[in-house]
Amino acid sequence: MRFLIAGNWKMNGSRAMLAELDRIAEAAAAQTQVDVAIAPPFTLLADARPRAGQVWIGGQDCHQAAKGAHTGSISADMLIEMGARFVICGHSERRAEFGESDSLIQAKAQAAQTAGLTAIVCVGEDEPERDEGRAVMVVAGELDGSVPPASNARNLVISYEPAWAIGTGRTPTMAEICEMHAMIRAKLIQILGEEGTRVRILYGGSVNPGNAAQILACPDVNGALIGGASLTADTFVPIVRTASAVGANVSQ
């Protein structure tokens, strides 16, 4: 399966930071084996699109309604109009800071898909859930609650992101990542049937140029969602190149 390497700039970046996107776009054009994506803040989308080349541009959130009296929110159609191809739904920071529930995330992903976007639906346990041995159960429940049941491999990507690994420099063991991704694959097949075999499953949480090769070598890891290391081309581009090299090995 073709890797997707997606960067999430979160609430970082001004117009000046689009110089990083220029360099990422240049590198992505040379790596034809990998899909590359960047989610800048909403305010940079319009300026980002013409500079993105083959890099997919997307949003970090959208509202579940198509339009209306929802002060401060952005609809999926608005993202499309700015040239977005995808939107991140249910990132753990949205779940924790804004109390987003599985059913709300499912509604947002559904709205995104209806508008023509690919929804990157995030799932992942927090630290107490991992310590108590409940991580797999928690993630399975989140998938049941937040994956739109009519999704397909074109309009859905899953990202497994243990909350305790985000921005901390800590990652699960390879065995833990492989175990979780295998469970997610099985669950996607249960929910979506045959189509579930083709949905990409990303890993997110402290991915960097030093650990990307090992993580991407896990079966059923089909790419990465990257926060901190996506903020500069110096750290993001090596991960894109690694994915291209690992992808070439996998398909041999």
Is 210 among the residues that bind ligand PGA (CB under 6 A)?
no
Which of 3, 192 has the CB closer to ligand PGA?
Answer: 3
Cα–Cα distances (Å) from 44 to 15, 73, 95, 107, in that order, read 7, 16, 23, 25
CA 42 to CA 61: how far, in whole Å?
Answer: 9
**Nearest-CB residue to ligand PGA?**
227
The amino acid occupying position 196 is G
Structure tokens at 237: 């581009």
Residue 205 sits in the site that holds ligand PGA (CB under 6 A): yes
Closest CB to ligand PGA among 55 and 192? 55
Toward ligand PGA, which CB reaches closer, 76 or 163? 163
Considering only 58, 90, 228, 247, the residue that binds ligand PGA (CB under 6 A) is 228
CB of 206: closest distance to ligand PGA in angstroms?
A: 4
Query: What minimum distance in Å lies between the beta carbon of 167 and ligand PGA?
Result: 4
Known catalytic residue at 181: no
When the beta carbons of 13 and 204 are compared against ligand PGA, the nearer one is 204
Give the C-alpha distances (Å, rounded to integers) separating 175 from 48, 172, 180, 201: 37, 8, 9, 16
Residue 116, Cα to own-chain centre: how many angstroms? 17
Query: According to the binding rule CB under 6 A, does residue 172 interact with ligand PGA?
Result: no
Counting residues that bind ligand PGA (by CB under 6 A) gives 13
- From the CB of residue 33, how many other CB atoms can be counted at a distance below 10 Å? 15
> How far apart are CB 141 and ligand PGA at their closest, in Å?
20
**Single residue of 139, 161, 172, 244 touching ligand PGA by CB under 6 A:** 161
The answer to whether 121 contacts ligand PGA (rule: CB under 6 A) is no
Distance in Å from the first CA to the final CA of the chain:
12
Region of 67 (left: φ > 0; alpha: ψ -120 to 50; beta: rest) is beta
Give me the count of residues in the chain. 252
Helix/strand number for the chain, H first, E second = 10, 8
Residue 167 touching ligand PGA (CB under 6 A) = yes
Q: Is 91 a catalytic residue?
A: yes
Catalytic residue among 20, 91, 93, 129: 91
Helix (H, G, I), strand (E, B) or coil at 157: strand
Is 227 among the residues that bind ligand PGA (CB under 6 A)?
yes
Bridge partners, 86 (sequence order): 58, 118
DSSP annotation of 171: -
Of the ranges 21-29, 62-70, 202-210, 237-245, which one interacts with ligand PGA (CB under 6 A)? 202-210
| Contact between 225 and ligand PGA per CB under 6 A | yes
**Contact between 88 and 58 (Cβ < 8 Å):** yes
Judged by the rule CB under 6 A, the positions of this chain that interact with ligand PGA are: 8, 161, 166-167, 204-207, 225-229
Active site members: 91, 161
